[in-house]
Structure 1
Amino acid sequence: MPRSARRASPRAGYRDRHGRGIRSAVTGPHLPMLRTRADFFDSCVASAVEYLRTLWPQELAAVHFEVASFPRGTAGPEGVDRWQVDPRARRVTLYRVPIERLVHLHRDDDWHRRSYIESCVFRAVAELLGKDPWDIAPERYRHF
């Protein structure tokens, strides 16, 4: 038996399955929303940048930090870039996928991933400022 033609809904993006109303989030109202890898990466970069801006306020005042998925072009002789520093434009670009995927952590958990992402931010800022990465945030991991 052929189906009758569907009528066009007045609201184009409206999702109403079988007259049950708009769909809710997968996690439901009582559970926290799911956090993606990109969200985790962005929060790690933001917290590291905020920390570094408190340590180096004048040097990092006009610096723009960006997160991109991949570097443009092909890999160089040293491999895939994890960040790019442009001193003239005062811009640091961190590449999320190479930082997340090309690391070999001895323990794959949130703390070690966060530490590695922060270390990439510290090394990129050290490259921008022309300093040793250990001089950028000497108090950050003093408890080790």
Structure 2
Amino acid sequence: MARSRRVSLPPSPRGAARNRHGRGLRSSVTGPHLPVLRTRAESFESAVAETADYLRGLWPDELANVSFEIAGIPRSVSADGLDRWWVDSAARRVVLYRLPIERLAHAQVEDEAHQRMHVEGCVFRAVAELLGRDPWDLAPERYRDL
């Protein structure tokens, strides 16, 4: 059986600075005048971090040594279904699972504000579970005018 011979060609005179079909480097999708878009993961991390900082400001002693972590999905499925977060009270650790929180939310309106509120609600419920309190008791001043 005959074997095909591979022949290596010299590099193109166009150089490595060009992309496919001889066009120049690609620019960002948003263009030079608009801000760069954030990914869903970055938006999720930002919402968790800002909510955790807010709660640490309200409960500095109780949340001083608590670590907030983000994971993709839980390792196993519980009897109640897919967990949205996991709280380890002994290690002072809260793990939020990004994909179940984002994908299993049944919001009537799918916009960035509602998604962020859903993430914030999950952080509130996870911290309430850690502290043994009701989520509404974590920030009573926040909901006074509602």
Q: Which residue of 2 aligns with 1:44?
A: 47
Q: Which residue of 1 aligns with 2:98?
A: 96
1:5 corresponds to 2:14: no
Give the match's secondary structure for 1:43. helix
TM-score norm. by structure 2 comes to 0.83
Q: Which residue of 1 aligns with 2:88?
A: 86
The one-letter code sitting in structure 2 at the alignment partner of 1:32 is P
The one-letter code sitting in structure 2 at the alignment partner of 1:7 is P
Which ranges in structure 2 are unaligned for 5 or more consecutive residues? 1-6
1:70 corresponds to 2:84: no
Q: Give the drift of 1:79.
A: 0.6
Give, in whole Å, the separation in 2 of the partners of 1:31 and 1:6: 40
Q: Give the drift of 1:35.
A: 1.6
The one-letter code sitting in structure 2 at the alignment partner of 1:101 is R
Q: Give the drift of 1:4.
A: 6.5
Q: Which residue of 1 aligns with 2:113?
A: 111
Equivalent of 2:60, from 57, 60, 77?
Answer: 57
Give the match's secondary structure for 1:118. helix
Q: Which has the higher Rg, Structure 1 or Structure 2?
A: 2
Larger deviation, residues 86-95 vs 105-114: 105-114
Instruction: State percent identity of aligned pairs.
Output: 58
Q: Deviations over 1:62-117 (max 9, x none)?
A: 110011110112x1111100000011111100001100111111222222211111
Give, in whole Å, the separation in 1 of the partners of 2:35 and 2:41: 17
Give the match's secondary structure for 1:92. strand
Give the match's secondary structure for 2:142. coil
Give, in whole Å, the separation in 2 of the partners of 1:82 and 1:136: 19
Q: Which residue of 2 aligns with 1:11?
A: none
Residue 16 to residue 55, structure 1, CA distance change in 2 (3 Å): same
CA RMSD between the two structures: 2.1
TM-score norm. by structure 1 comes to 0.84
